[in-house]
Structure 1
Amino acid sequence: MADDLSKEQLQPEHPDRKTGYERILTDPAPPWFVELYPGGDGAGFLQKLERHSVLFHQRSASQLVVSFDNIANANDLSFAREPWGWKFFRDEGWSHMGVFARTKAWYRDPEIISYFKNRAAEGFFERFEQVVFAGASMGGFGALAFSELMPGANVVAFNPQTTLDERLVPWETRYRFGQVQDWDLPFSDAAQTVKQAGRAYVFYDPFFDLDRRQVTRLQGENVVLLKTWFSNHFAAPMLRKLDILKPVMQKAMNGSLEPDEFYRMMRARRRLPMVMRAIEAQAEERHPQLVQQARRRFRVLRRAAMTEGAS
C-alpha cells in the first residue's frame, strides 16, 4: 500500500513533524499498542478525544491507577509515546488508565472533565477495590483534582500545582498558557478536592518557593507532604537517581508509606552531585564554612558509594 502513495502525500505538514502515516512507517510501535492491537494479548481500549486521549489496560481486577501527563509530554507526537508511569504500573500488575494530554491546558477542558464524570457515574472506578491517582507537575494537579470523583482513593503527586487560578494564587508566575484557561470549570482547586482523598502523598522541594507555596495550600490529616530537599521541580527524577523511586511508589500507592521511613531512604541524597551543587548555590555566600564542611562530607560519601559499587 505504501507504494501507492506519492512522496508528496508522505511529506510532514510541518518540517519538524512527521505525518501520522509516516510515524507508523518509521517509528517502533509502543509496548501498549503491542498489547492492545487486534492480535495482542492485552485487554483494554484507547479513546481519542479532541485534546486528550485515554488509554486503559485491564490487568488487576482489584487495583487501578489513573495517571496524568505532565507538561513535558504535551507536545510529544511520537508514535512510541506512553502514558506517565506506564512501564512501572505494567510491571506492578495494576490496571491502568493513562491520560494523554495534547495541550498544556492543565485539564481545564470540558471534554476531559465530562469524560471522567461520565466514567464515575457509570461506576467504572467503583469496580476496583483500590484506586490511585498519580502524576507529576501538571499531571500531579490532574491527579489531585480528579481524585474527588473516587472518594477514598490515594493520590501520589510529584511537584503538583494546586491551581493556576490567579484569584487564588496571584503569586504564581509560571505557566502562562495554563493560567488563561477556564478556572471556573469543576475540579479547579486541588486544595478543595484533596479533602475527599484517602492518603495524598505530595513530594516537593521546600527550597523551591513556588512549589512550596502551592503544596502548602493542601491541608488535612490525609495529606502527607514529603520534602525532597534540593530537587527543585524534579522530585521524581531525584528519587530515581537515589534508586528509591520504585519502593516509594509501591508503598505510596497502597497507602503504607510513612514519613519516617521515607526520610531514612532520602538520607542517600547527600551523595548526589545535584544536591551538593544546590547547597553551594544557596549557601556559599551566607555560610561558607558550612558549605566547606558539606563538601568534605560529600567527598567521603561519594568515595564510599564508589567503593560499594566496585565491590
Structure 2
Amino acid sequence: MQDISDKIDAPLTGLDAAMWKNRLVSLAQEFGEFHDLGKRHFTTLIRQKSTLLVTFETVQGIRALSETAQPFGFDLVRTQGWSHLGLISNGDTWFRDPAVYAYFDSLVDNGTFDEFDRVVFYGAGPCGYAAAAFSVAAPGATVVAVQPQATLETAMTEWDPRFTEMRRTSFTDRYGYAPDMLDAAQRAFILYDPREEHDAMHAALFARSNVTRLRMPFMGSALQTRLIEMDLLYRLLFMAGAGKLSRASFYRLYRARRDNPSYLRSLMQRLDADDRPYLNTLLCRNVIARMKAPKFRRRLDLLEKDARAGKFPLPPERG
C-alpha cells in the first residue's frame, strides 16, 4: 500500500496532455486496469479496499480544478485506501458512446461491482448525468450528482436552450434517462441551486423515493467549484462511502458557506436586486466582523450613507 500511496502523492501538474494521460495509464496498469474506449473516453481502475468510488470527469476539468491535476477520487485512494474507477472524457460528452455502454456491460458481466461492499458514483453537470445514468450497473450504489441533467432529449427538455451541440445525440437508447436509471440505487443525492432555473427544472425530474434533493441557493452555476472552495467535496464523498450522508449531515457541513466569498457576494447582490437595504446592512456588518472583506466594507459605507439620508432605517448596532 505504501508503494501506491507514494506514487499517487506525486502530482501530475506541469505535464502536457499526452504525458498526463500516460502517467494516469501507468498508475492504472500497475495497480489495476486501464481501458481505452475510443477517441474521447478512457478508464482507470485502481484496486484497494472494498469501497469503490466511481467518478466521471473530463480531462479539462481535472487539469483545471485539481491542484495536483489528479482525479477527485485520488484523495480517497490516498487517505482512505479506497478503490477508484475513473471514467474520463475529452470534453463534455455526457458519456453517450456505445463503447462506454459496452464497458459497463462488461463490468456487469464480470461481476466487478459485486467485489465491493460499497459503491459510490459521483459527477457534476454532464458528468453528474453520467453518474446517475450508469449507476444502474451497480444496484445498491450511492449516487452523488451535482447539477446533473436528467436528459437532453429535445422532446422532453425543449425548455433548456443550453447544450445545442448535443441535440443530435441520442438520450433514448441504453443508459438513457438518468432519473429512471436511479431506481436501482440505494440512495441518490442531487445537489443544485434552485435559483438556477434550468438546473432546478432538471433536478425536479429526479424526484424519486430514494432521491434526496439538496438545495444550495445563491451558489450559482458552478457548484462543484464552490464545493471545492469550501473543502466539502472530499467530505461529501467520504460520508457517502461510509453510509453517513443524509440531508441533515449535508446541511451541517454546508454551514461552511458562511465563510465562502462567492456565496456571500451572491447573497449581497441578491439583496441589492431585491432592494433590501436593511438586511444587506446586517449581512455586511456580519461579514466584515468575521473576515477581511473590502467589497462589503465599501457597500456598508454606502448603505450607511443612504440611511443617514433617510432612505431606510439603519439597524441598531449590537452591544
TM bin, normalised by shorter chain, reads 0.7 to 0.9
Does residue 153 of the first structure (1) align with residue 141 of the second (2)?
Answer: yes
Residue from 161, 174, 181 that aligns with 1:173: 161
Establish whether residue 35 from structure 1 lines up as the match of residue 34 from structure 2: no
Judge which range, 256-265 or 51-60, deviates more: 256-265
The residue that corresponds to 2:131 in the other structure is 143
Change over 3 Å in CA distance of 1:173–1:254 after alignment to 2 = farther
Q: Which structure 2 residue ranges, 5 or more long, are not aligned?
A: 1-15, 294-319
Indicate the SS of the match to 2:132. helix
Contact 2:55 2:72 in 1 (8 A): yes
1:48 matched to 2:36? The reply is yes
Task: Provide the rounded CA distance (Å) in 1 between the counterparts of 2:252 and 2:100.
Answer: 39
Instruction: Provide the identity percentage.
Output: 28
5+ residue gaps, structure 1: 1-17, 305-311
Are residues 1:231 and 2:223 paired? no
CA contact (8 A) 1:49 1:111 kept: yes
Q: Which aligned pairs between 1:1-311 and structure 2 lie closer than 5 A?
A: 23-24=18-19, 30=23, 32-33=24-25, 35-36=27-28, 42-50=30-38, 51-60=40-49, 62-70=50-58, 72-73=60-61, 82=70, 84-91=71-78, 92-286=80-274, 287-302=276-291
C-alpha distance in structure 2 between counterparts of 1:107 and 1:90, whole Å: 24
Cα 1:284–1:228 change in 2 (3 A) is: same
The answer (yes or no) to whether the contact 1:137–1:161 under 8 Å persists in 2 is: yes
TM superposition score normalised by structure 2: 0.77
Report if the CA contact (8 A) 1:43-1:57 is conserved.
yes
Q: 8 Å contact 2:129–2:148 — kept in the other structure?
A: yes
1:288 corresponds to which letter in structure 2? P
Contact 2:53 2:122 survives alignment (8 Å): yes
* Residue pair 1:67, 1:97 contacting (<8 A) in 2 also: yes
Number of equivalenced pairs: 273
SS in 2 for 1:174: coil
Give the SS at the match of 1:216: helix
Task: Please give the secondary structure, in 2, of the residue aligned with 1:119.
Answer: helix
Kindly provide the amino acid, as one letter, of the partner of residue 144 in structure 1.
Answer: A
Conserved 8 A contact 2:140-2:186 = yes
Root-mean-square deviation (CA, aligned residues, Å) is 2.7
Are the aligned partners of 1:108 and 1:185 in contact in 2 as well (CA < 8 Å)?
no
After TM superposition, the score normalised by the length of structure 1 is: 0.79
